[in-house]
Structure 1
Amino acid sequence: MRLLVLGGTEFVGRAVVEDALERGWDVTVFHRGTRTAPPGAAVLHGDRLAEGGLAELEKGEWDAAVDTWSAAPRVVNESALLLADRVGRYSYVSSCSVYAYPSDPGSDETWPTVRADPESDGTDYPADKRGGELAVEAVFGDRSLSARAGLVLGPHENIGRLPWWLNRIARGGPFPAPGPADLSIQYVDARDLAAWTLDATAARVSGPHNLVSPAGHATMGDLLAACVEVTGSDAEPVWLTPERIAEAGVEPWSQLPVWTPPGELHAALHDNDVSRALATGLRCRPVAETVADTWEWLVSIGGIAPQRPDRPRVGLPDGAEERLLAGLTRD
């Protein structure tokens, strides 16, 4: 399989390239050149936002392309148009954020999506991802695939959610644990997302698919217990109710990464139907494996995870942990 990966040096794109290389595929990575591509991949350079930035893609043929772009949809549109006659299939790594909010618990791919323009210069994340989908669908039709990823975790994470929890728990002592402990979470390991995308591409699967772990795969308690286990610290969770967290003025998702309280936001982020992806081969490794491998990687790079410049840093601000735990750690 001759594979073109648009991106391919960070997190999800990197996982796609590494998986494809392990399969023995002929992989070409197209990126700006600010980071090193995985060894074994052919490299083409270009800035997709610059005039003439796609010049190195004007020649060449590939059986498939995987695109992880998450900003201006026009960039995806321009790439798809340029490659239409020289790429067999086009797989776009999208997001469950494309769904109109709020969504019903257990919603599937038929839930309405946000309005979007495939030729837009960019508005917001949900519309940009939906615009990218529309661009690929318009050009490639039934030769297109949209992998609607939810929360993505794993080694090389460049948002900082799981690394934040690992670093906090590694410091030890009582730590604020957002409850309830049995609250379900949905996520996908970047390597499982990559494996499904390549399998589905090779099998000529088309259309949108929700890509997160199935309901019941993991809970907040499972995630945090795995963090305590792999770091070997003396950290002890102090389970907090959603009401306590709200009273302390702490934001879900951004300041307490991964977690959202039961309700509309939890339904949108952690309660999506994934039957279609499971039926087409999605396999999700245990949460303990994702946590352990992420910790091993984090330690190997000195504990400081890379940070995407277009995303804000996550985690509790100064003083927030003290407010959350005030009067509780002695109980």
Structure 2
Amino acid sequence: MRLLLLGGTEFVGRAIAEEALARGWQVTAFNRGRHDPPPGVAALRGDRSAAGGLAALEGDGTGEWDVVVDTWTGAPSAVRDAARLLAGRAGHYVYISSRSVYAYPAPAGLDEDGPLVEASPDAGAVEYAEAKRGGELAAEAAFGERALLARAGLILGPYENVGRLPWWLTRIARGGPVLAPGPRELPLQYIDVRDLADWVLDAAGRGLGGPYNLVGPPGQATFGELLEACVAVTGADAELRWTDPEAVLAAGVEPWTELPVWLPPGELYDTMYGGDVSRALAAGLRCRPVAETVAATWEWLRQLGGRAPHRPDRPPVGLAPEREATVLGTA
């Protein structure tokens, strides 16, 4: 199989590249060249947000591919231009989208037929949800039933450049009392980036098209199991101090940003952690235990000296030590 990755050097793209290489696929990555692709990946350079930025993909001698995987998050018009260019030279187009394309609030149990945000494939810079939905429309306009829309939820695992699980691991590795927002039994819904990569390549190889909620089943792990796995893998002398969500919120601590991954029960929690994923499970999605995700992420962090990369277009996450101490009463 011949794979063209639009992106392919960080997080999701890198995991897909490594999985494709492990399968013996021929992999080409098209990107701006800010990061090197994994060894064994051919590189094409270009900035798709600039005029003439797709030149490296043009021309009869450039190549043809069985599968294109596009991880783009910006202006939908960039997806439109790439998909149009490749429609006659690629068999399948996978767009890594997001469950954010559903109109908010998305009730628990919502499947792929739920209401969507309004968006345009011709738009320039727009908000994240509109950008992802516009990208979906652009992929479908060029590839029709050959377009696979992978609506990912929370993605964790090695190479994470948003900082959510890396922050918890580095915080717990410091040891001492740790603010653990409750309830401990709070069910999570996420996907390991390697499981995402495995499913995407399988599905594209089988010719699947249309939208799929690509995330594990609700409750595949609890928040307590996630943090306890962090304690176990780091071997730290850390004490998880479980705190009622009402007390955390009353202290002014921001869910999701100051305490990554965590959302208190309510409307946003249902939207993020209650998606129906029966379609993806029926199409072969397999999800590894949370302990494996945590262990692999910790090993990757240790290889980097404990300092994870961070996307410049995303704000930093995590609770400042002095804020945590104040909430815990240990200041």
State TM-score, norm by structure 2.
0.98
Query: For 1:88-167, what aligned pairs fall within 5 Å after superposition?
Result: 88-167=91-170
Secondary structure at the residue paired with 1:245? helix
* Amino acid corresponding to residue 217 of structure 2 in structure 1: P
Q: Is the 8 A contact 1:5 1:29 kept in 2?
A: yes
CA distance in structure 1 between the aligned counterparts of 2:215 and 2:87, rounded to whole angstroms = 29
* Amino acid corresponding to residue 73 of structure 2 in structure 1: S
1:30 aligns with 2:30: yes
CA distance in structure 2 between the aligned counterparts of 1:216 and 1:135, rounded to whole angstroms = 33
Which residue is equivalent to 2:219? Answer: 216
CA distance in structure 1 between the aligned counterparts of 2:320 and 2:151, rounded to whole angstroms = 31
1:183 aligns with 2:186: yes
CA distance in structure 2 between the aligned counterparts of 1:182 and 1:320, rounded to whole angstroms = 24
Which residue is equivalent to 1:74? Answer: 77
Query: For 1:240-251, what aligned pairs fall within 5 Å after superposition?
Result: 240-251=243-254
CA distance in structure 1 between the aligned counterparts of 2:79 and 2:191, rounded to whole angstroms = 23
CA RMSD of aligned residues (A): 1.0
Query: For 1:274-293, what aligned pairs fall within 5 Å after superposition?
Result: 274-293=277-296
CA distance in structure 2 between the aligned counterparts of 1:17 and 1:296, rounded to whole angstroms = 19
CA distance in structure 1 between the aligned counterparts of 2:38 and 2:97, rounded to whole angstroms = 22
Which residue is equivalent to 1:257? Answer: 260
CA distance in structure 2 between the aligned counterparts of 1:70 and 1:318, rounded to whole angstroms = 32
Query: For 1:222-237, what aligned pairs fall within 5 Å after superposition?
Result: 222-237=225-240
| Aligned-residue offset at 1:323 | 2.5
Residues 222-272 of structure 1, C-alpha deviation per residue, up to 9 Å, x if partnerless?
000000000001101111111101111001001100000001111111111
Query: For 1:299-314, what aligned pairs fall within 5 Å after superposition?
Result: 299-314=302-317
CA distance in structure 2 between the aligned counterparts of 1:268 and 1:67, rounded to whole angstroms = 25
Query: For 1:258-273, what aligned pairs fall within 5 Å after superposition?
Result: 258-273=261-276
CA distance in structure 1 between the aligned counterparts of 2:266 and 2:171, rounded to whole angstroms = 27
Q: How many residues align?
A: 328
Which residue is equivalent to 1:21? Answer: 21
CA distance in structure 2 between the aligned counterparts of 1:239 and 1:324, rounded to whole angstroms = 12
CA distance in structure 2 between the aligned counterparts of 1:109 and 1:264, rounded to whole angstroms = 19
| Percentage of pairs with the same residue | 62
Secondary structure at the residue paired with 2:53? coil
Residues 162-187 of structure 1, C-alpha deviation per residue, up to 9 Å, x if partnerless?
00000000011110001100000111
Secondary structure at the residue paired with 2:166? helix
1:8 aligns with 2:22: no
* Amino acid corresponding to residue 275 of structure 2 in structure 1: N
| Aligned-residue offset at 1:108 | 0.8
Q: Is the 8 A contact 1:172 1:233 kept in 2?
A: yes
Secondary structure at the residue paired with 2:233? helix
* Amino acid corresponding to residue 174 of structure 1 in structure 2: P
Secondary structure at the residue paired with 1:253? coil
Secondary structure at the residue paired with 1:209? strand
Q: Is the 8 A contact 1:172 1:236 kept in 2?
A: yes
CA distance in structure 1 between the aligned counterparts of 2:122 and 2:291, rounded to whole angstroms = 41
| Aligned-residue offset at 1:319 | 2.7
Secondary structure at the residue paired with 2:305? coil
Q: Is the 8 A contact 1:248 1:320 kept in 2?
A: no
Which residue is equivalent to 1:168? Answer: 171
Which residue is equivalent to 1:238? Answer: 241
Structure 2: runs of 5 or more not aligned: none
* Amino acid corresponding to residue 252 of structure 1 in structure 2: P
Q: Is the 8 A contact 1:104 1:267 kept in 2?
A: yes
Secondary structure at the residue paired with 2:84? helix
Residues 124-152 of structure 1, C-alpha deviation per residue, up to 9 Å, x if partnerless?
00100000000001111100000000011
CA distance in structure 1 between the aligned counterparts of 2:158 and 2:201, rounded to whole angstroms = 19
